[in-house]
């Protein structure tokens, strides 16, 4: 096999709680993750040697700091593979956005190379390897919806939102995940999610209650630094979003809508201010290998 095309999707967090800190400074979390139908196309082509990264987005590094490069390097070293790969990333997912864009590219490379080089790795094997690259990579391999514990790697699959309309809006600022976690005051949190309640809302398919109960403890850190977050949330609510919140460490804000007209009007207005605005659905699967 010489070439593979994969679709890898973004995620949003329906809740994020931070419970503590590990000795290595990674934070212990309790999160609800949901895949959305906003995807990058990743093409993997076998070449004689080395790893080449190519992307159509100026913010995506093309050297060994690209997490897709690291994924290929990990596989090549672990399985002593002499062949090389050229990885082309066609980016639709906003970069440094809180949408796991890099993590999902890395997940695609692991899944793709497992198939291309017939490595016979199970989903669990792939998720273990993924964790060596980043805390969000295992979820990107699993896809759909899950509760994430530990540093994000202990995953329990759940029934997520079924084809619910999500408006995504990414203001033109770059936010570092590391900076957000470093600036979080774990003992001074004013509001925390009730994860059990939100999971019940999902079980009962009560999207309205879920949208009201959503809470992300990282929001305050990013919101205090950048006024755009509050402004976007306000606009989404004015346009009758059931709820609106920042995803991950931000700065992307998403809104949950039950009315397509309202969602489209909100999109039109926000798109005039923020180019990276997308109306998508929630998605049930993980990495998709195209035929
Ligand atoms: C906040 C979340 C929520 O899903 O997503 P994003 O905003 O990145 O999308 C994740 O916890 C981010 O996961 P991910 O982006 O994969 O993190 P990594 O690359 O492993 O780590 C980036 C930095 O974030 C910090 N970090 C990450 C995860 C975690 N549980 N605790 C941490 O303190 C670490 O300081 C690390 O240096
Ligand atoms: N394949 C990739 N796609 C996007 N960003 C990447 C990639 N590889 C490395 N990066 C770097 O990772 C940083 C975080 O990007 P990203 O994964 O999109 O953020 P987030 O995890 O917040 O969604 C970016 O600033 C970028 O420099």
Contacts of 132 (CB under 8 A, 6+ apart): 74
> Other CB atoms closer than 10 Å to residue 181's CB: what's the count?
18
- Using one digit for the tens of pLDDT, what is the confidence trace for 192-225? 999 999 999 999 999 999 999 999 999 999 999 9
Is residue 174 scored above 90 in pLDDT?
A: no
- Tell me, yes or no, if 234 is annotated catalytic: no
Q: Look at ligand 1, atom 27, and give the residue with the nearest C-alpha.
A: 26
In a shared domain, residues 11 and 117? yes
Distance (Å) from CA 111 to ligand 1 centroid: 21
Judgement on whether residues 59 and 92 belong to the same structural domain of the protein:
yes
Name the strand (E) or helix (H) holding 21: strand 3-21
Do 144 and 32 share a domain, yes or no? Answer: yes
**Domain check: are 21 and 155 in the same one?**
yes
Contact present, 114 and 128 (Cβ < 8 Å): no
Determine whether the shortest distance from the Cβ of 152 to ligand 2 is under 6 A: no
Query: Which CATH number belongs to the domain containing residue 183 in this structure?
Result: 3.30.70.890
Give me the mean pLDDT over the 7-22 stretch.
97
Distance in Å, CA 207 to ligand 2 centroid:
30
Residue 53 DSSP SS3 = strand
pLDDT tens profile 208-267:
999 999 999 999 999 999 999 999 999 999 999 999 999 999 999 999 999 999 999 999
Is 102 touching ligand 1 by the criterion CB < 6 Å? Answer: no
Ligand 1 atom closest to the Cα of residue 248 is 7
pLDDT band at 2 (very low <50, low <70, confident <90, very high): confident
Structure tokens at 108: 């695609």
Range of the domain at 75: 3-159
On whether the CB atoms of residues 25 and 57 are closer than 8 A, the answer is no
pLDDT in tens, 62-115: 999 999 999 999 999 999 999 999 999 999 999 999 999 999 999 999 999 999
How confident is the model at residue 4, as a pLDDT?
97
Q: H or E stretch including 238?
A: helix 228-238
């Amino acid at each position: 096999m010489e070439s593979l095309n994969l679709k890898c999707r973004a995620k949003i967090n329906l809740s994020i709680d931070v419970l503590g800190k590990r000795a290595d400074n990674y934070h212990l979390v309790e999160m609800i993750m949901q895949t959305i139908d906003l995807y990058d196309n990743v093409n993997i082509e076998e070449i004689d040697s080395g790893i080449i990264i190519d992307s159509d987005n100026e913010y995506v590094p093309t050297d060994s700091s690209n997490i897709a490069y690291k994924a290929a390097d990990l596989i090549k070293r672990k399985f002593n593979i002499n062949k090389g790969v050229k990885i082309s990333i066609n980016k639709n997912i906003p970069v440094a956005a809180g949408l796991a864009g890099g993590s999902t590219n890395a997940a695609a490379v692991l899944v793709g190379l497992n198939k291309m080089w017939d490595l016979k790795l199970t989903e669990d094997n792939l998720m273990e390897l993924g964790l060596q690259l980043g805390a969000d990579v295992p979820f990107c391999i699993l896809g759909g919806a899950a509760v994430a514990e530990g540093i994000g790697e202990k995953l329990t699959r759940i029934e997520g939102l079924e084809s619910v309309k999500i408006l995504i809006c990414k203001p033109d600022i770059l936010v570092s995940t590391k900076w957000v976690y470093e600036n979080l005051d774990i003992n001074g949190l004013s509001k925390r999610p009730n994860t059990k309640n939100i999971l019940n809302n999902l079980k009962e398919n009560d999207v309205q209650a879920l949208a009201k109960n959503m809470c992300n403890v990282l929001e305050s850190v990013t919101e205090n630094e950048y006024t755009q977050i509050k402004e976007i949330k306000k606009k989404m609510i004015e346009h009758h979003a059931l709820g609106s919140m920042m995803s991950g460490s931000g700065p992307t804000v998403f809104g949950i809508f039950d009315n397509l007209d309202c969602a489209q009007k909100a999109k039109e207005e926000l798109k005039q201010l923020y180019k990276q605005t997308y109306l998508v659905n929630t998605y049930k699967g993980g990495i998709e290998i195209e035929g």
